[in-house]
């Protein structure tokens, strides 16, 4: 039973992550390979603060939101001035740098050994310890992030983002300043990933850099692509499918070492197959398929 | 110490140059960042390893590795990139698909060969030949000479043969190339096969020099990304060579001040700074890229 609850918690965590990426990928139509960097930043903020200073959960989560948002703005602002595929390269660079910092700044992050013994969260006297408690907590924050993405999607702000996605020049000619809009979207996306990071750190109670590598970013991308970018539920569907399907492999008696490979192959092929046959993903609104921009 | 670091820089620059010349060639002709390039590098090493296990001589194993790399590149193009091109894919789509291919192939290799580190070289590692107070191994020397040679040949190929001219032309304006009667898809395939062969060469050289691991392609790939962006988007081989040398020196001499572990971080910080201070440079390229397939 705990195992099923554990899977459910992972699904919720990854759903927060994928819908945070959706704010950038789905609404603005630009892919970021830095989601795991912000995820990791949130996790390390929670880890370092609660282990070294014993700060409560709520302070950690607020700090992570502020820090990830600020860093997202700092990275997003200059990055959005360059072309789409170079934006991907810029976020890729940021991801590699962030991983380097997690992995090598031994004094703070513990280097490759990571940080162990992160306490379970304490919230207004409620000690979150069992799986059910975590489902309530993470589910609550999941609903919060869905609400945020929904609000962004339906607000005038979100409509401008969609306009930018469909035709940047047109949006600009209507007097919208492109870069601030994109940057705010990117910062929101970064902050939401940071929230997921804090939850992850407090749930697993141990973090190390390997959980926040480039491959993790690509995994989050494939969740969004498979489920479908731009729609509210697409990334969630992607998270449900790509997190639970590999777990089913265990039940058909696949050895653990092979299962890890098959899991990765599954999301690699999901990425390739979606690009070829279904650029809009399963239920998405925005496809990464076609060249829309006029030359 | 300085001599040794300089030698190390040149050796790593040679490796970076080989990988990034292929990566840059693909970018120049097909206009997308082909992340699958990194796994082609790894595959070459693994297939050379396989050949060695069947008692091929080292040179034959390396040659086989390079050929297989080229074939894998071509297969990627036919199976994935070509259908994508005919659907008017954006460079972003192709980049994402190539990331998917990287993961897919990496794990397929892992299933076939296992996760662990493997050894291709025949003898124990030696300290190498003394040069000016530094040391360089025979394989490293061959790698440096070979990569210099390959770059010269690639330059000659691109600038003085008809095929090279057509490849540059497609990179310049694919629509014009189509309307001049060029069978563009064939040249895309040829370019990717050629680039993959270059990656394969770099891969087998790295495999003979050090160990064979599943992630051995990741660092060269990252360095190639940086070299291609800084060295002028693959449009000039001399720019690429300069960028590769710069990265090589930065990696090796950076070790002096901040420690070996920060190599990648430093190089990517350089890339980020470069992208941020020269944003205009990356905006103005023609966006007419793939609209010729259908």
Listed in sequence order, the residues at least 6 apart from A209 whose beta carbon sits closer than 8 Å to its beta carbon are A40, A99, A102, A103, A109, A111, A112, A114
What pLDDT does B294 receive? 30
The pLDDT of residue A289? 57
Question: Hey, are the CB atoms on A271 and B100 less than 8 Å from each other?
Answer: yes
Quote the tokens at residue A205. Answer: 């109670």
Band of the pLDDT at B284, cuts 50, 70, 90?
very low
| DSSP secondary structure letter of residue B181 | T
Which positions ≥6 away from A127 have C-beta within 8 Å? A120, A133
Among chain B residues, CA nearest to A101: B265
Q: Which ranges of chain A would DSSP assign to H, the alpha helix?
A: 2-22, 35-48, 57-79, 84-104, 106-109, 131-154, 156-166, 168-173, 178-204, 214-227, 234-251, 256-277
Dihedral of alpha carbons A224, A191, B32, B22, sign: negative
Percent of chain A surpassing pLDDT 90: 23
Distances A146 to A13, A231, B138 between C-alpha atoms, Å: 12, 11, 59
Contact B100 A270 (CB under 8 A): yes
Q: What is the dihedral of CA A135, A137, A138, A143, to 10 degrees?
A: 110
What span, in angstroms and rounded, lies between the C-alpha atoms of B279 and B294?
Answer: 33
Over 50: is that where the pLDDT of A162 sits?
yes
DSSP letter for each residue of B43-99: HHHHHHHHHHHTT--HHHHHHHHHHHHHHHHHHHIIIIIHHHHHTTB-HHHHHHHHH
- Token pair for residue A125? 């006297």
Q: Is the pLDDT of residue B15 over 50?
A: yes
**Taking the alpha carbons of B208, B211, B216, B221 in that order, is the dihedral positive or negative?**
negative
- Express each pLDDT in B124-161 by its tens digit: 666 667 777 777 778 888 888 988 999 899 989 988 89
User: Minimal Cα–Cα distance from A91 to chain B, Å?
Assistant: 9
ipTM summary value: 0.86
pLDDT exceeds 70 at position B291: no
Q: Which token pair is A110?
A: 């513990």
Residue whose structure tokens are 């860093």: A71
pLDDT at B283 over 70: no
- B90 CB near a chain A CB, below 8 Å? yes
Element (H, E) at B6: helix B2-30
- Taking the C-alpha atoms of residue B115 and residue B108, their distance in angstroms, rounded to an integer, is 11
Q: What is the pLDDT of residues B34-83, one digit of tens each?
A: 999 999 999 999 999 888 888 888 888 889 999 999 999 999 999 998 88
Sorted by sequence, the CB contacts under 8 Å of residue B212 that are 6+ apart come out as B45, B46, B49, B117, B118, B119, B120
Q: Check whether A175 has a pLDDT greater than 80.
A: yes
pLDDT at B207: 87
Per the CB < 8 Å rule, is A78 touching B269?
no
> Considering only CB atoms, which chain B residues are within 8 Å of A289?
87-90, 93
The whole-number average pLDDT for the span B266-288 is: 67
Distance in angstroms (rounded) separating the CA atoms of residues A90 and A181: 18
pLDDT, tens only, A191-247 = 999 999 999 998 988 888 888 988 889 899 998 888 888 888 888 998 998 888 888
Say if residues B227 and B235 touch (Cβ distance below 8 Å): no
Per-window interface: B 103-132 vs A, CB < 8 A:
103-104, 106-108, 110-111, 115
CA distance B57 to chain A (A): 32
B98, closest residue in chain A (CA to CA)? A272
The pLDDT value recorded for residue A84 is 67
Residue B290 pLDDT greater than 50, yes or no: no
pLDDT value, residue A136: 86
d(CA B117, CA B102): 19
Q: Cα–Cα distance between A135 and A216 in angstroms, integer?
A: 22
Q: Once rounded to an integer, what is the mean pLDDT over residues A41-54?
A: 89
Q: What is the DSSP letter of A28?
A: I
């Amino acid at each position: 039973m705990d195992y099923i609850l554990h899977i459910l918690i992972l699904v919720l965590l990854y759903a927060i992550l994928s819908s945070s990426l959706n704010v950038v990928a789905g609404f603005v139509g630009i892919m970021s390979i830095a989601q795991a960097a912000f995820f990791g930043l949130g996790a390390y903020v929670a880890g370092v603060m609660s282990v070294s200073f014993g700060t409560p959960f709520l302070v950690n989560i607020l700090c992570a939101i502020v820090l990830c948002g600020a860093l997202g703005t700092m990275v997003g602002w200059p990055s959005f001035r360059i072309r789409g595929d170079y934006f991907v390269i810029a976020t890729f660079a940021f991801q590699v740098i962030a991983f380097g910092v997690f992995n090598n700044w031994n004094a703070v992050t513990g280097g490759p050994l990571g940080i162990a013994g992160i306490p379970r969260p304490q919230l207004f006297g409620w000690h979150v310890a069992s799986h059910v408690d975590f489902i309530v907590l993470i589910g609550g924050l999941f609903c919060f992030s869905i609400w945020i993405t929904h609000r962004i999607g339906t607000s005038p702000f979100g409509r401008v983002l969609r306009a930018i996605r469909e035709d940047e020049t047109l949006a600009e000619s209507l007097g919208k300043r492109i870069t601030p809009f994109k940057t705010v979207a990117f910062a929101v996306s970064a902050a939401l990933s940071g929230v997921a990071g804090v939850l992850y750190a407090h749930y697993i109670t141990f973090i190390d850099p390997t959980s926040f590598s480039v491959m993790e970013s690509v995994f989050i991308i494939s969740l969004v692509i498979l489920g479908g970018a731009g729609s509210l539920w697409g990334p969630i569907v992607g998270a449900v499918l790509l997190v639970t399907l590999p777990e089913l492999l265990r039940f058909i008696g696949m050895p653990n070492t092979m299962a890890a490979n098959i899991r990765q192959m599954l999301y690699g092929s999901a990425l390739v197959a979606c690009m070829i046959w279904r650029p809009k993903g399963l239920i998405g609104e925005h496809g990464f398929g076609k060249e829309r921009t006029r030359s | 110490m300085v001599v040794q670091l300089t030698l190390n820089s040149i050796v790593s620059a040679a490796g970076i140059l080989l990988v990034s010349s292929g990566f840059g060639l693909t970018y120049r002709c097909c206009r997308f960042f082909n992340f699958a390039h990194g796994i082609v590098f790894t595959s070459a090493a693994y297939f050379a390893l396989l050949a060695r296990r069947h008692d091929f001589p080292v040179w034959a194993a390396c040659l086989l590795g390079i050929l297989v790399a080229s074939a894998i590149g071509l297969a990627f193009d036919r199976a994935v990139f070509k259908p994508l091109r005919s659907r008017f894919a954006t460079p972003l789509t192709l980049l994402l698909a190539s990331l998917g291919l990287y993961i897919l192939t990496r794990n397929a290799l892992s299933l076939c060969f296992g996760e662990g580190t493997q050894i291709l070289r025949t003898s124990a590692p030696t300290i190498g030949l003394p040069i000016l107070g530094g040391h360089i191994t025979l394989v490293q020397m061959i790698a440096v000479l070979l990569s210099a040679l390959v770059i010269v040949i690639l330059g000659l190929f691109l600038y003085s043969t008809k095929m090279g001219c057509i490849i540059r032309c497609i990179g310049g304006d694919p629509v014009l190339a189509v309307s001049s009667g060029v069978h563009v898809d064939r040249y895309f395939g040829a370019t990717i096969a050629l680039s993959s062969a270059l990656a394969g060469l770099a891969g087998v050289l790295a495999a003979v020099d050090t160990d064979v691991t599943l992630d051995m392609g990741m660092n060269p790939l990252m360095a190639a990304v940086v070299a291609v962006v800084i060295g002028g988007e693959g449009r000039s081989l001399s720019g690429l060579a300069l960028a590769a040398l710069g990265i090589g020196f930065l990696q090796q001499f950076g070790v002096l001040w901040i420690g070996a572990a920060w190599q990648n971080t430093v190089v990517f910080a350089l890339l980020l700074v470069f992208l941020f201070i020269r944003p205009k440079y990356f905006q103005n390229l023609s966006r007419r890229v793939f609209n010729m397939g259908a």
